[in-house]
Amino acid sequence: MKAQFTEQLAHLEKLIIEMGSMVETQVSSTIQALIDRNIPLAMAVMQNDHKVDELEMTIDEEVLSILALHQPVAVDLRDVIGISKINGDLERIGDHAQNIAESVKVIVENNQRITVDYIPKMSAIARSMLKDAIDSFIHKDVELAMSVCKRDDDIDDLNKYLFADILASMIKDPQVIPTSMEVIRISKNFERIADLCTNICEDVVFIRDAKSIKHSKEHQKLL
């Protein structure tokens, strides 16, 4: 029975890593589409989102099956619950990558230009946070997970600065409003990706150390 559980848990971990890899590719592709103003690549991201959704459902079923058949406890329970939550977070990250791809399509089709330099910085931070969040899960590396949480503040700040700058430019020249709205949307999506990476890392801390650092001063203390 234990061997069967170990095998099923290993399979679940393999699936969630596959999910992480798929979502990472979606985020990288959407960033590349943004940089290259590449509509076919943006379209590919939009079309591939259903694969992320399907894998999410497969993982949900696997989690349900493990809970029903094996009733895991302690670290095994934390592992399964953590994976279930990470699964949901990764699926949402996939949705945000799709949202960005949609904005890229609108911007390129309307021959608009993004002039603010916050977006490249935010995309770089979001991409690195996602990579490290997935790595921290694979290696159960709490230090790496905590460093990801720390970077969330940087992206929050950039989102705020971007909004202030864009608002000023929209007041100055209402013609930039359509492009600015897409830029705000892109910025908000990167900011949400970073938030979800933070959630994943909080789950890694929960899995390894049985500590919940969400919504607590503990979070700040550990940083």
Partner 1 sequence: MIDKKTEIKSEASADKHLSKSEAEPQNDFSGGINLASTRSRTKIVTKDVNMFYGEQQALINISLEILQNEVTALIGPSGCGKSTYLRLFNRMNDLVDGVTIQGQIWIDGKDIYHKDTDVVDLRKKVGMIFQKSNPFPKSIYENVAYGPRVNGENSAEKLDEIVERCLRKAALWDEVKDRLKISAYSLSGGQQQRLCIARALAVDPDVLLMDEPCSALDPIATQKIEDLIKELKHDYTIVIVTHNMQQAARVSDKTAFMWLGKMIEFNETKKIFTSPDQKMTEDYITGRFG
Residues in contact with partner 1 by the rule CB under 8 A: 1-2, 5, 71-78, 210
Q: What is the dihedral of CA 118, 185, 110, 44, to 10 degrees?
A: 100
CB of 203 to partner 1, least distance (A): 14
Q: For residues 112 and 58, give the distance between their C-alpha atoms in angstroms, rounded to a whole number.
A: 39
Q: Cα dihedral sign for 40, 42, 43, 45?
A: positive
Nearer to partner 1, 81 or 181 (CB): 81
Nearer to partner 1, 20 or 82 (CB): 82
CB of 11 to partner 1, least distance (A): 17
CB of 167 to partner 1, least distance (A): 46
- For 61-81, give one letter per residue: b (16+ CB within 10 A) or e: ebbeebeeebebeeebbbbbb
CB of 71 to partner 1, least distance (A): 6
Nearer to partner 1, 22 or 222 (CB): 222
Question: Residue 176 has what DSSP assignment?
Answer: G
Contact yes or no for 180/169 (Cβ under 8 A): yes
Nearer to partner 1, 80 or 90 (CB): 80
CB of 65 to partner 1, least distance (A): 17
Nearer to partner 1, 78 or 140 (CB): 78
Which residue do the tokens 């202030």 mark? 164
